[in-house]
């Protein structure tokens, strides 16, 4: 079959792909900077759960470059975050398009470069609270977006293909780590657990969990096909590349419908737009790409140099991906230019939750009344339906999911500081919570209890209205007071 018989070009121009990628990316940048504006200071600011000074003491600037290395202040954090929000809003409305022709290209490049550089500062200084694969991926895609040109000039096809290369590594890396990482992916049973044990379930997770076992088998097999076979088609001629893009968007859309994964799925969808050529879109809808001028020669040369750089930096991540010692979500350079990706290489079979409680009682005893802190995303109250928060990212809630996997907070050194902040009634920390049961003053004692959570069965839910059942499995941190802070007893209380 000759593709031209379908009326579709094998290659094509990419005006619409650039438009969709840029606008989608601007929206995600906007979200990311809003998250930084609202959460960075209490999590990793001057007096955060992991104070900014720890970043400065542990790394050289060249290892983790950030503005905050030289200006380690909450004010700088706020200025950078809100500047990012403003710049992302400009990108979202396509502000560079209103700049006249000779200056449109440099204005566009400057805008996207500033977004990338500012966000780099947050990721590199954010420590464990920014240690997610989608942070590096946002930076990698954001870097390539600098070189997508302006709306008046032809979109550089080379950069569009580099975006597909990111998409390929993201999907293919996720597919390989699964087959390598956990027997349940090979036995097609992982989805029996995933919806229940994922970091932050959403309103439809309970329903997805209770779909028939046969459905879970088929969707797990479908996962392997979409992550391991389909990605090769991103590099195929049209319409196969676009079909692969649609399959990827549908797959990521299902994940968005049934879970909260920050902006991982949305960013992957944005990348999948790069598989659409103008010819394919024009064949599907009554749209026509505007006429564009050829890109200036210096810009073309710059794009080719960037492509050569990305390809050279791709060697190690590519070798890592196909190696049986594959490591996912790793950066190979300090500014996250080319990275490895992957998700859910192993699936947790049981869901554990840390329930944080406080009391106004000066002395703790059997009759002490404990009041529970509620979080914005992670399950706590068994009666409460899981909420929809993605593509927004709740960094504290995600870290609590990791922390709950261990019976003590030894591997989560920020957790004692979190309890300290609750005992002090710290306003910034309280802003990370959905409900503080002590609105009139901090508690006398706090404690953390570890529970195993499971979705209720349909029969249990119709009878009790509960979404979760739970059983207590241990004490995560025994009751401590402000007087214990800094004492040996406080340290002992953590064990």
Q: Which is nearer to another protein, 323 or 431 (CB)?
A: 323
Identify which of 83, 147, 151 has the alpha carbon closest to the alpha carbon of residue 115: 83
Smallest gap from residue 445 Cβ to another protein (A): 50
User: Mind giving me the DSSP string for 338-382?
Assistant: SEE----SS--SSEEEEEEEEE--SS--TTPPPEE-EESSS--ST
What is the H or E stretch that residue 193 is in? helix 191-197
d(CA 356, CA 479): 10
Dihedrals phi, psi of 477, to nearest 5 degrees: -140, 125
Six-digit token string for 28: 């995600």
Angle (CA) 76 78 79, round 5°: 65
Spatial separation of the C-alpha atoms in residues 332 and 249, rounded to whole Å: 28
Question: What is the smallest separation between the CB atom of 386 and another protein, expressed in angstroms?
Answer: 30
Find the shortest distance in angstroms from Cβ 283 to another protein.
15
Closer to another protein at the Cβ: 187 or 384?
187
In the complex with another protein, the residue whose CB is nearer, 179 or 284, is 179
For another protein, the binding residues (CB under 8 A) are 1-3, 10, 176, 179-180, 183, 186-188, 217, 221, 224-225, 228-229, 231-233, 235-237, 240, 319-320, 322-325
Q: How far is the CB of 186 from another protein (least distance, A)?
A: 5
The nearer residue to another protein, 114 or 218, going by C-beta atoms, is: 218
CA distance 443 to 359: 5
Minimum CB distance to another protein smaller for 229 or for 287: 229
| CB contact at 8 A, 389 and 375 | no
CB of 183 to another protein, least distance (A): 7
Closer residue to another protein in complex, CB, 113/240: 240
Closer residue to another protein in complex, CB, 61/232: 232
Distance CA 472, CA 355 (A): 10
Comparison of 330 and 388: residue with beta carbon closer to another protein: 330
- List Cβ neighbours of 11 (8 Å cut-off, separation of 6 or more): 157, 237, 238, 277
Nearer to another protein among residue 112 and residue 172 (C-beta): 172
Exposed, middle or buried, 13 (CB in 10 Å: 0-12/13-18/19+)? middle
Asked if 119 and 111 count as a contact pair (C-beta separation under 8 A), the reply is: no
Parallel, antiparallel or unpaired: strands 468-481 and 371-372: unpaired
The HSE-up count of residue 244 (CA atoms within 13 Å, CB side) is 26
Q: Taking the complex as a whole, how short is the minimal distance between the CB of residue 170 and another protein, in angstroms?
A: 15
Q: How far is the CB of 42 from another protein (least distance, A)?
A: 42
Q: Taking the complex as a whole, how short is the minimal distance between the CB of residue 179 and another protein, in angstroms?
A: 5
CB of 388 to another protein, least distance (A): 32
């Amino acid at each position: 079959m000759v593709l031209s018989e379908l009326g579709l070009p094998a290659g094509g121009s990419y005006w619409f792909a650039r438009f969709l990628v840029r606008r989608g990316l601007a929206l995600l940048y906007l979200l990311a900077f809003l998250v930084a504006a609202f959460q960075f200071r209490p999590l990793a600011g001057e007096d955060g759960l992991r104070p900014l000074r720890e970043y400065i003491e542990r790394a050289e600037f060249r290892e983790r470059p950030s503005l905050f290395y030289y200006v380690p202040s909450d004010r700088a954090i706020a200025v950078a975050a809100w500047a990012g929000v403003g710049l992302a809003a400009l990108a979202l409305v396509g502000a560079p398009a209103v700049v006249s022709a000779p200056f449109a290209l440099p204005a566009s490049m400057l805008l996207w470069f500033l977004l990338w550089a500012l966000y780099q500062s947050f990721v590199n200084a954010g420590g464990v609270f920014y240690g997610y694969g989608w942070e590096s991926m946002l930076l990698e895609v954001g870097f390539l977006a600098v070189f997508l040109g302006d709306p008046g000039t032809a979109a550089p096809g080379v950069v569009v293909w580099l975006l597909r290369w990111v998409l390929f590594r993201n999907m293919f890396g996720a597919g390989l780590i699964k087959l390598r990482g956990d027997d349940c992916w090979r036995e097609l049973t992982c989805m029996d657990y995933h919806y229940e044990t994922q970091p932050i379930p959403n309103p439809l997770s309970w329903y997805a969990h209770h779909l028939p076992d046969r459905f879970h088998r088929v969707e797990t097999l479908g996962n392997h096909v979409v992550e391991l076979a389909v990605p090769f088609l991103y590099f195929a001629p049209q319409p196969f590349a676009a079909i692969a893009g649609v399959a990827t968007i549908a797959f990521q859309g299902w994940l968005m419908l049934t879970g909260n994964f920050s902006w991982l799925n949305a960013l992957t969808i944005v990348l999948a737009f790069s598989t659409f050529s103008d010819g394919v879109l024009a064949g599907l809808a009554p749209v026509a790409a505007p006429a564009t001028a050829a890109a200036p020669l210096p810009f073309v040369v710059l794009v080719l140099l960037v492509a050569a750089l990305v390809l050279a930096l791709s060697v190690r991540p590519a070798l890592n991906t196909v190696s049986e010692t594959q490591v996912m979500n790793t950066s190979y350079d300090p500014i996250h230019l080319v990275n490895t990706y992957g998700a859910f290489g192993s699936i947790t079979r049981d869901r554990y939750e840390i329930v944080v409680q406080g009391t106004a009682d000066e002395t703790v005893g059997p009759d002490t009344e404990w009041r529970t802190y509620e979080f914005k995303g992670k399950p706590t109250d068994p009666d409460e339906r899981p909420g929809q928060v993605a593509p927004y990212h709740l960094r504290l809630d995600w870290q609590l999911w990791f922390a709950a996997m261990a019976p003590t907070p030894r591997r989560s050194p920020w957790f004692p500081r979190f309890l300290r902040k609750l005992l002090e009634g710290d306003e910034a920390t309280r802003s990370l919570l959905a409900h503080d049961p002590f609105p009139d003053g901090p508690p006398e004692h706090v404690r953390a209890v570890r529970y195993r959570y499971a979705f209720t069965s349909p029969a249990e839910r119709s009878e009790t209205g509960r979404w979760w059942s739970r059983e207590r499995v241990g004490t995560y941190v025994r009751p401590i007071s402000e007087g214990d802070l800094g004492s040996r007893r406080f340290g002992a209380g953590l064990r």
